[in-house]
């Protein structure tokens, strides 16, 4: 639900959004495009966001990352 609300808000603000609900979806988006910002929850549908953030940083080393989560353990990020 938070994902849908955030996507809608960003799109209404004029942003192009590549929404992903899983690590696998995020990886597909990362391979296909250039990004100005990564906004991610710490926990995705099929795992933690650490691998997504690592891959994003490799492809976009100077691009900001915003990590949002209600709960994270040391093992998830």
pLDDT in tens, 4-46: 888 899 999 999 998 888 899 999 988 888 889 999 888 787 8
**Beta strand residue intervals within 1-77, DSSP E:** 38-41, 43-44, 47-48, 65-68
77 has a pLDDT exceeding 80:
no
Helix, strand, coil in percent for the chain, rounding step 5: 40, 15, 45
- Beta partners for residue 38, in sequence order: 65
71 has a pLDDT exceeding 70:
no
pLDDT for residue 72: 57
Tokens of 48: 């933690």
């Amino acid at each position: 639900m938070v994902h849908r609300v955030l996507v809608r808000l960003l799109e209404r603000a004029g942003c192009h959004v590549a929404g992903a609900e899983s690590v696998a979806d995020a990886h597909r988006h990362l391979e296909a495009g250039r990004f100005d910002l990564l906004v991610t929850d710490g926990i995705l549908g099929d795992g933690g966001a650490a691998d997504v953030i690592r891959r994003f940083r490799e492809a976009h080393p100077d691009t900001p990352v915003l990590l949002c989560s209600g709960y994270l353990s040391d093992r998830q990020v």
